Copies of this chain bind each other. A is one copy, B any other.
Amino acid sequence: MPPRTRRPQRRTDALSRERIVETAVELLDTAGETGLTFRALTERLATGPGAIYWHVANKGELLGAATDAVVAAAVTPGRSEPTAAAEPTGSAEPAADTAGSPTAQTAPGSPQDRIRRVALGLFDAIEAHPWLAPQLAAQLSRTPWGSVTPRIFESVGRQVRALGVPEGSWFTATSALVHYVLGAAGQNAVNAAHGRALGPGLDRAAFLDATSTAWEELDPDDYPFTRAVAAQARDHDDREQFLAGIDLILTGITVTAAGHTPARAEE
């Protein structure tokens, strides 16, 4: 039972699917995956469960809508997330990019740059919303015809096309990139989870340290490689690492498109 700091009634604007999804994202961000319940939702929205069920079919659909909303915001360039803010988005200026590059209407830079930007967008979204990673996996494996997969696929695929990849390889190249991004982002989501399972005050660096320490304590006979690499794991930078992987795949794509295919040719 949380303290009654929140005013129990805010009947200002009417209930809407959008407002419900918005509140769901808030709840997920604040209280984690287990924090999204219909009771918490009804309390925040000052209604009964029936009202929510009029706008939303069930909890699964609500989770899907929340996932889609966050992904859409992350993948659409120049749009910041309106999730946490209660007021509708006006003409908000895009936040300053950490890379220093301006965000224009048509994204600037080489196709490689734009792929990196899309990938980092998703990466950061998962870091900001740790519940997104397993949700994304569940979403994708259940309904790939939903709106989440095409959204990501489209953003990446356009740049693959711009890269000059022959049409016959579009699907393969785009799939490889998307799968990598989802896998890597999912794995790295933990770094933003505020030490849920670790106790408070254990931040990102301490967490990495704990992980690589755990790896160093593995059985030398069973895990020689993982132990040897534990040191590298300790002081790696997530985003750099993530981008290095993107570059590895981009290299593979461009080299393969040029007709070399050394991975198979070597054998």
- Interface-lining segment among A5-13, A35-43, A251-259: A251-259
B244 touches A251 (CB 8 A): no
**Docked complex: A160-183 residues within 8 A CB-CB of B:** 161, 168, 170-176, 178-183
**Docked complex: A221-241 residues within 8 A CB-CB of B:** 222-226, 228-229, 232-233, 236, 241
Query: Is A158 engaged at the interface, CB distance under 8 Å to the other chain?
Result: yes
Interface size counted on chain A using CB atoms at 8 A: 79
Docked pose: A161 CA to B225 CA in angstroms = 8
A170 touches B232 (CB 8 A): yes
B140 touches A229 (CB 8 A): no
A241 touches B175 (CB 8 A): yes
Query: Is A143 engaged at the interface, CB distance under 8 Å to the other chain?
Result: yes
**Docked complex: A196-228 residues within 8 A CB-CB of B:** 196-197, 210-211, 214-215, 218, 222-226, 228
- Tell me which residues across on chain B come within 8 A of A101, comparing CB atoms: none
**Min CB–CB distance A239 → chain B (angstroms):** 13
Q: List 25 A-B contacts (CB under 8 A).
A: A134-B138, A137-B186, A145-B210, A149-B187, A150-B215, A154-B225, A158-B224, A170-B225, A170-B229, A170-B232, A171-B229, A171-B241, A172-B245, A175-B184, A176-B248, A176-B249, A179-B245, A180-B183, A183-B183, A247-B256, A247-B263, A249-B252, A251-B262, A254-B262, A254-B266
Q: Which residues of A contact B (CB under 8 A)?
A: 110, 112-113, 130, 133-134, 136-138, 140-145, 149-150, 153-154, 157-158, 161, 168, 170-176, 178-184, 186-187, 189-190, 193, 196-197, 210-211, 214-215, 218, 222-226, 228-229, 232-233, 236, 241, 244-245, 247-256, 260-264, 266-267
